[in-house]
Each structure stands twice: as structure tokens, then as C-alpha cells.
Amino acid sequence: MTDCARPFSIEIIRARSANRRVRAALFDFDGTLSLIREGWQNVMIPYFCEVLSEVVDPTVETPEDVERITRDYVDRITGKQTIYQCIRLAEEIKRRGGTPLDPLLYKKEYLRRLQERIQSRVDLLASGKAAPDDFVVRGGRRFLQLLRDHEVKLYLASGTDEYYVKQEVELLELTEFFDGVVYGAQDDYKTFSKAMVIDRLVKINNLEGAELVGFGDGYVEIENVRDVGGYPVGVATNEANPGGGVDAWKRRRLLDAGAAAIVPDFSEPQKLFDFVVNS
């Protein structure tokens, strides 16, 4: 079988209640709209395993155990700010009798390694050798356009540092859709969370939860949107193989988090728009 594109489909777990108009939509960035940071897990997980292995007693835990534990918590925290994954690493080290560094140092080293992986993509975009849509999840731009044309207010919230998020939104030429409202992680990490962003946008726009829809490929945004009574759509993007259908592993996780529907991407923007907004 060739790996040609699979047809777009919407897996519906719960339909959206149609008695409220959609007035606002919240998007996650990495893996949901942007492919610039594709593969970040393959940087974080080996690095964290490397650090944790230094304090592991090999008669108690095998390298496979270390990898499984690391993968589990990294995944569970995905969507929150990166520092929380680093804080958890420090806790795992402490639990095994080690003395961890300041979690901020783990974050710095992780970002240094990740930057090595993604710099070539940033350079391609910045020099114009790649088109923005080469790194936008399929159909994403058109879908945002449809929402905006129907006066749905668009918000973007990411667990990546705000400085990088804004720069990458700009490189992908998506800034205009969000009216400048792009939220990312802060140095003072307690001042930001996706739940806080949702609270704020609900208050500012005087929204009912049911007037909010959310799109994300991670646990956190799905849970947060669900918690306020919004409609959370899991975007199970196949980042390494765009067009290859849903990523089965992401799909499972998104369902566990309470996603009301699952899509592989936005590659049929009108169909998705009709489902979410017009149904």
C-alpha cells in the first residue's frame, strides 16, 4: 500500500449542543497548527532518560523502565508549560536519592537541544525557501479563515515560551487571525496556564462555556475546554507523516482526556466548520 493521503473523517464521540452559537475558539499551537517543533518528544525523552539514568539503580529499574516512566509523565503533562516536565524530572531524581539541578537548567538544556533540531526549519521559513504552509497543519489556515469570517474570536495558547510562539506564529503568517492574542509560557510560570487563558477569555467575552470550542493535540487543552463546558476537538495530527490519517497514539490519549470529536487535521476545512459551527 502506498502512503497516499487518507480521506478526512470526523470521529464523533459527543455532538455539540446546537442551541448555542460558537463565539470563540481556542487553539493549541505545536502539533495542532504548527509543525515547526515536530519531534520535540524525541529530544526531551532521551535527554530526560539520560539525566535520570545517572541516579537509577540498574538492579531495580531497567533502561526500558526509565523510558516508560519518562514517556508517561512527559505525555501526561504535554500542553502545560515545559517547566512542569522539568520539575517532574527533578522530582523523579529526588525520589531515587539524587540531587537534582534547578528545573530551569533542565529546561534550558532541552531547549538548546531542540533548537538544534528545528533551526533548519526556522531558517527555511525565514529565508523564504519554505512556504509558511509547508509547516502549517493541513487546512489550518483555511479553517482559521472560515472561523474568522463568521466572527468567531480566535485565541492561541501554547505551553512553549511566549517569545518563541509569537515568532513562530509570525513565520507561519498566522498572526493576523489571532488579533494579537497569542499566549505562551512565561518565565514566571505561575502567571500562565491554559486554564487561566480560558477563564480570561470567558470573562472578557462574557461567554457561556457552550459557546467555546477548543482544538488541540494534547491532554491539557482538551481537559480545560471540557471543564468549562466547551466543545473540545482532539486534533490527532500525524506530525511525522502529514496526511497519513490520525495518529493512533494521540487519538487514544485525546479520548482519555475527554475529547468530544477527533480529526486528523483540518484538511476539509468547510466540512469541519459545518460540523463544529453550523450543526
**Interface ranges with Mg ion (CB under 5 A):** 28, 30-31, 217-218
- For 9-114, strand residue ranges (E) read 11-12, 24-27
Closest CB to Mg ion among residues 56, 222? 222
Q: How far is the CB of 275 from Mg ion (least distance, A)?
A: 21
With beta carbons less than 8 A apart as the criterion, state whether 240 and 39 touch.
yes
The residue with cell 541516579 is: 55
Please list, in sequence order, all residues whose beta carbon lies within 8 angstroms of the beta carbon of residue 170, skipping any fewer than 6 positions away.
none
Compute the distance between CA of residue 276 and CA of residue 59 in angstroms, rounded to an integer. 52
The residue number whose beta carbon is nearest to Mg ion equals 31
With beta carbons less than 8 A apart as the criterion, state whether 163 and 182 touch.
no
Q: How far is the CB of 220 from Mg ion (least distance, A)?
A: 9
Q: Which residues does residue 138 pair with via DSSP β-bridges, in sequence order? A: none
Compute the distance between CA of residue 136 and CA of residue 158 in angstroms, rounded to an integer. 15
Compute the distance between CA of residue 274 and CA of residue 263 in angstroms, rounded to an integer. 14
Q: How far is the CB of 31 from Mg ion (least distance, A)?
A: 4
Closest CB to Mg ion among residues 26, 93? 26
Q: How far is the CB of 158 from Mg ion (least distance, A)?
A: 7
Closest CB to Mg ion among residues 92, 217? 217
Q: How far is the CB of 37 from Mg ion (least distance, A)?
A: 8
Closest CB to Mg ion among residues 100, 218? 218
Distances (CA, A) of 195 to 16, 22, 50, 157, 223: 21, 19, 32, 10, 9
Q: How far is the CB of 269 from Mg ion (least distance, A)?
A: 19
Closest CB to Mg ion among residues 28, 211? 28
Compute the distance between CA of residue 237 and CA of residue 235 in angstroms, rounded to an integer. 6
Closest CB to Mg ion among residues 51, 267? 267
